[in-house]
Each structure stands twice: as C-alpha cells, then as structure tokens.
Structure 1
Amino acid sequence: MIDIKALWEKSETATNAWISIPNAWTAEIMAHAGFDVMTIDAQHGLANDLSVILPMLQAIATTATVPFVRLPENNPAFIMRMLDAGVVGLICPMLNTAEETAAFVKAAKYYPEGNRSYGPTRASQIYGEDYAAMANQKTITLAMIETPDALKNIREMAKVPNLDGFYVGPWDLSISLGYTKFADFEDASFMKILKEIVEVAKEHNLVCGIHAGSPQNAKIFTEMGYKFVTIINDSSALKAFAKNTLSEFQGLENNKPSRDY
C-alpha cells in the first residue's frame, strides 16, 4: 500500500479518485487505474453503509491504492466502524469549529490521543496484529472547509492536535459564500480564498486537499500548494464517456460513407 504521509513529507501530491457508485467491481476497476487514493463518498455517494462499503474496500485492497471515506457526518460510531473495516483516511464534512474538529480527530485515535474504541476486526487482519500500536500514526484525518464558519474559525481548527489537514469542498464553499456561479475557478476573489486556505494549512504544517474535478484544475491547485487533489468522479466519468460515445456514433451516422456492403 502506498504511504500517503511519506508522499506528503516529500512534498509530493497524492492523486485521488472520488467513488460514488456502490459497487465492488467498479471500485476494483478504478483502483487498478493506479490512483494513490480512492475516497468512497458515504455522504452524497450511494455507498453509505458497511455492508456495501466492505466489498468495495476488499476490491481496492487488490491494489496499492489507499482507501479513504468521506463520512456522512461527524459521527464517532461511524468513524470507528470505518477504521475497523480497514479505511486509512477520513474526510469529515460540515465542520465549523475547533471543538467539532477535535471531536472528529479524537474518535479516529486510540488513547491517549483520542477515544477510539478497540475492535479493529478487519484492520488487524490486513495490516497486522500490531495494527493498534501504529494506527494513530497511520490514520489520516482531514477536516472539510466548506462553510463561512469554517473559514472564520480555520486558524483555531488548524491547531487541533493530530489533525492531518484540510479538504476543501469548493462547490459547497462557493454556495455558502453566496457566489452565483459555483466553484468558479476563474473567479479571482474565490481563488484568493482557496489560496488563503492552503496558506493557513502550510503555516500549521498541515496538508491541504481539494475537490478539483479535473486534471487541468488539479494542476492549478497543485501549483498553488495543494497536496491532495481529487481529479475524477466515477459517476461523472461514466456519464461523460457514455454521452461522448453516443455522440460520436451519431456523428458517424450523420456522415455515412458512400459505399455499399
């Protein structure tokens, strides 16, 4: 398995694929593409319980890709269940204060760093019987920045012990800030905000990730200092490929060659 923290220590950027299709086969296909990380979206994606997520984790485990989950909410029971199932990284949505962020991080860490309950059923199977001894170091916690309150409190959130970084949700952030065009990466004022977020992360030795949406956007954000970039969504990619394939065929049909068979 790829050591994501080691990548970040070398100032390298980790590539991430966003997974919303609740299916082990499509997860396996995506994992074999070679992304550093795959994040199963349990908030807005269709895989939102362990009975669906577990086979997806097993499929991802056939590769070196690291499994993350975007949590549905800041729920300690769900956090612990995902980690026990073998998830390495957690992205927590809708965090607005340092107190909320601290609760998230503590649920992901064993004593003395946190209050995670012991029971790593699958994690100890795939990572070794000494899993609990190294789990606090290996587990990755990212707090989402997607609201005005999070922006206001970001410096206090950055001080939370054992937080690994931020993950920016530019769609929700732009909506909540009142922008009429969502996630407009050509809007100078919005890009200034995204730059300020990554600068705060750097000041506190945190990693900053972002939902870039495309390789082109990911390059821009990598140059800005983001070290974790989501460049594809499985549902969006499938939809775009299907539409492009149909459009290509229809174009060929409208320009039929003048030959007989």
Structure 2
Amino acid sequence: MYSNPFFAQWAQDSQMTGAWCTLPDTVAAEVLGRQGFDYVCVDQQHGLIDDSTMVPMLQAIDASGSAPLVRVRWNEPPAIMSALDAGAAGVVVPMIETAEDAARAVSACRFPPQGQRSYGPIRAREVMGSGETEVVQQVACIVMIETAAAMENLDDILDTPGLDGVYIGPNDLTLALGGRPNTTTPEFVAAVDTIQQACRSRGLAIGMHTGSGGAAQHYLSLGFDFVTVVSDAGLLARAAAAELKLAVRPATDAPSSAAAPSQTY
C-alpha cells in the first residue's frame, strides 16, 4: 500500500529537509536527491522547467530515493493536475491570498465528490501502485503564504478543508511587508511567527524556503516541519565563485605544498 512520504514523516513529527530545482536537468535533480534530502522540488513557477522536462526530473528524483514535489506555475487546476498525474507526491501552489484561492487548490488535488480533479493518473498509478482514487489522491496540497492579502486572510485560508500544509515564500512576503528581497525585517519575523502559530493550532505542516544550511538550521530549530536547504542555481553559482576565487588568488596567499592537490570531478 502506498504511503505518501510527506504524510508519513509529518505524522511522526519528523522534520524534513529539501532541495530546490530551478534548472531543467534530470541528472542534477538526481544528484541532489542522492545527498540525503527528504524531498526535491521541481520549480515550475520561477524555474526554467516545462512539463516535458518535469516528468523525467520526477523520475530522477524517485530514483534518488527523495520525495518528488512540484511548485506549479500558478493556482491553475490544469497545472496542478498535470503535476499530480505525473507522479508528484505533492504540489506547492503559489500566491494564495483568499480562502477561495486555497479551496481551488485543494479541489484540484482531490477527486469528486471532495474536489474536481479529473481522473487520469498516467504515471501516478505506477508510482503509487494503484489506480484507486483513494490511493492516487494521497498527495500533499501545500499553499504559499507570501502576500499582505494572505496575511489579512490567514485564518480563513488555513481553515480550508483538505489543506495539508503551508510554505512561506520569504522574498515575496518581505516585499509585501515593505522590505527588500534577501533581507530579514522585524515585520517579516513577526509575520512568520504568526503563520507558524496559526498552523500549529490547526495541525497543519509549515515549511520555509531558504538558500543555505545556516538559514535552514534556524527554521528547523524553530520547529518547522519542512525546510528547503539549497537551490541548484544558487548553489552552483556560489560554489563556482568560491572555487574561482581560490584559483586566482596570489601565489603568496596559497598554502605551500610539494604535492599537487587532489582532483575531484
């Protein structure tokens, strides 16, 4: 019997760590998954990934042992249903601002009479081992809270029947509260605390998007249920810049050694 890894982990109060894919590359998705992350998310909203690339990336993530997640382009039923039919264990739906928005996202994840998801789990039935609707609709519906309107309507959004979790988009939420991306303001900190407490009181999982291990550790220490640690493009850029800086530094600054450094590919 299929057991959705998100529901299984959250039921045990286990914290999950994840990686984020914005680049359309199946090998990178698999490599990230094999590092021990609990989930790997394919980002179709801000990433450069279309449906034809999403499917093989989900296959690569499955092969790595991580749980495949998809952030869809928008709160559009066709986008949500395509990701789920392709075998995603859950979807992250951006820019949710009202209870009606949240209900629309949930409805696209559930078959009638609970929702409006059209039946056609082409790859999902193979991944989950069954085409029964009760099995196939065991998917995590996660909505993003990242706007001022969402904060105003937070209680109504979180009271939506069938919602499984919330994912905070820090840059958009900071912008909405008058700050700048990649900064932390008192208003943002207060909003995060409000969201976390509201989720806790309803038994909803709460997640945070970060781009580094240090930031991820902070939110894990606060008790977040799932936290994204790295993004492929950001990780690649930082690592490449750091290695280039080492390569071009003056020879007088480099450690002396008679032996050539080892090569890693």
Q: Tell me which interval the TM-score lies in, with the shorter structure as reference length.
A: over 0.9
Shift of residue 28, structure 1, vs aligned partner? 1.2
Instruction: Summarize the Cα distance change of 1:253–1:206 in structure 2 as closer, same or farther, 3 Å threshold.
Output: same
1:141 Cα offset (Å): 0.7
Verify: 1:5 aligned to 2:43, yes or no.
no
- Per the alignment, residue 24 of structure 1 pairs with 26
**1:230 maps onto 2:228 in alignment:** yes
Moved over 6 A (4+): none
Q: 1:33 aligns to what SS in structure 2?
A: coil
Q: Quote the residue 2:263 is aligned against.
A: none
- Cα distance in 2 for residues equivalent to 1:152 and 1:17: 30
Structure 1 residues 252 and 117, CA, compared in 2 at 3 Å: closer, same or farther?
Answer: same
Match status 1:157 vs 2:177: no
Q: Sequence identity, in percent?
A: 35
Could you tell me which amino acid in structure 2 is paired with residue 53 of structure 1? M
Q: Distance in 2 between matches of 1:123 and 1:83?
A: 7
Letter in 2 for 1:229: V
Q: How does 1:105-254 map to 2 (within 5 A)?
A: 105-136=106-137, 138-179=138-179, 181-185=180-184, 187-251=185-249, 253=251
Q: Structure 2: which amino acid aligns with 1:40?
A: V
Change (3 A) 1:230 1:250: same
Secondary structure of 2:249's aligned partner? helix
Q: Which moved more, 1:2-11 or 1:51-60?
A: 2-11
Report the alpha carbon displacement of residue 227 of structure 1 after superposing the two structures with TM: 0.7
Deviations 1:174-197 (A, max 9, x none): 111111x43433x33321211111
**1:184/1:190 contact within 8 Å kept:** no
Matching residue's letter, 1:165: G
Which letter maps to 1:168? I
Q: 1:114 to 1:227 in 2, by over 3 A?
A: same
Return the offset for 1:43: 0.4
* Deviates further, 245-254 or 226-235: 245-254
Cα distance between partner residues in 2 of 1:217 and 1:143: 21
Q: What SS does structure 2 have at the residue aligned with 1:118?
A: coil
Q: 1:169 Cα deviation (Å)?
A: 0.4
- 1:193 partner letter: A
Whether the aligned pair in 2 keeps the contact of 1:123 and 1:131 (CA below 8 Å) is no
TM-score (norm 2): 0.91
Aligned-partner Cα distance in 2 for 1:55–1:170: 29
Q: Which runs of 5 or more structure 1 residues have no equivalent in the other structure?
A: none
| Superposed CA RMSD | 1.9
TM-score (norm 1): 0.92
Aligned positions, number: 256
